[in-house]
Chains A and B, each alone.
Chain A
């Protein structure tokens, strides 16, 4: 995100608020962008909306309306600017060549609260199913999620223990947690991070395998089960793909 865009967004906040928090917000924003934890468009909207709420607490109704209109204009300008300068998503050149191909990462999580990640390539167009297999120590309590290149968080395995780990099977000292996601929905292909996290406990290693599948099989399954995606249509009393 360009410095002038960030300065413009921070300028929306009241003077006293800026005096107190500008440096902290700017430092945090830069760190989040450097770590690719958030994309510039989302930052722009977040800062503008937050400024609106901070300002709105001190204004009367008429001034609040003017502020809303002004923020909408600024967000629109900022959105156009960041989109024009935003890094393009890494293309998915392999396309259907990725179907059925396992994308695997071996991660090591340090003692205590820690996380690790690797990168996969998600397929375009966004109508595919995918399997995720998590393999780790039987005693590990991990969570796994995807972070897309456009900043969306997709939960995969919220915990490998307890009721949230009901899909996990323990064999000796090892545990495997398979998950099937029948519909990729409107997600966009490109590079995604696969992130494993834990809050406590000893160091642990985890292997995560992601395999994308073609949509045809799952649409048949969805159609016959009566549950259908946006790409299915209702003809008479039955779903058709």
Chain B
């Protein structure tokens, strides 16, 4: 699994990394946080599909379980990848907005 398969901001992995960038979270907290900032309600399968891919790539790591909850945190590599992906998205958004302004003026 290579990190190139983690794509733009709509990619579930980017949403998970964005949520974990704020601090470690367990699955329930991840789902609620992503719902609040992205309006996307992930199911448990989708979430763990993304977490497994990220953990395999060394971008997140599991923390000791607390009761029935299993928290994760982002790694340094994960933060760097997230920074890169979000910067690309910002650049693309700025370019698109400039072109829209040009097309409608």
Total B residues in contact with A, Cβ cutoff 8 Å: 24
A38 in contact (CB, < 8 A): yes
Chain B residues 52 to 74 lying within 8 A of chain A, measured CB to CB, are 52, 68-70
Contact: B52 with A32, CB < 8 Å?
no
Chain A residues 17 to 48 lying within 8 A of chain B, measured CB to CB, are 17, 20-21, 24-25, 27-32, 35, 37-38, 42-43, 45-48
Question: Which of A31, A54, A143, A158 is close to B68, meaning CB atoms less than 8 Å apart?
Answer: A31
0/1 interface trace, chain B 76-100, chain A, CB 8 Å (1 if under): 0000000000000000000000000
Residue of A with least CB distance to B39: A155
Chain B residues 14 to 53 lying within 8 A of chain A, measured CB to CB, are 26-28, 31-32, 35-37, 39, 41-49, 51-52
Residues of B near A24 (CB, < 8 A) are 27, 48, 70
Contact: A37 with B31, CB < 8 Å?
yes
Contact: B27 with A50, CB < 8 Å?
no
Residues of B near A197 (CB, < 8 A) are 36
Residues of A near B52 (CB, < 8 A) are 17, 20-21, 54
Question: Which of A27, A49, A143 is close to B45, meaning CB atoms less than 8 Å apart?
Answer: A49
15 A-B pairs in the complex with CB atoms less than 8 angstroms apart: A25-B45, A28-B44, A28-B47, A28-B48, A28-B70, A32-B28, A35-B28, A43-B44, A50-B43, A51-B45, A54-B52, A143-B36, A153-B35, A158-B39, A199-B37
Binding site for A on B (CB under 8 A): 1, 26-28, 31-32, 35-37, 39, 41-49, 51-52, 68-70
Binding site for B on A (CB under 8 A): 17, 20-21, 24-25, 27-32, 35, 37-38, 42-43, 45-51, 53-54, 57, 115, 143, 151, 153, 155, 158, 197, 199
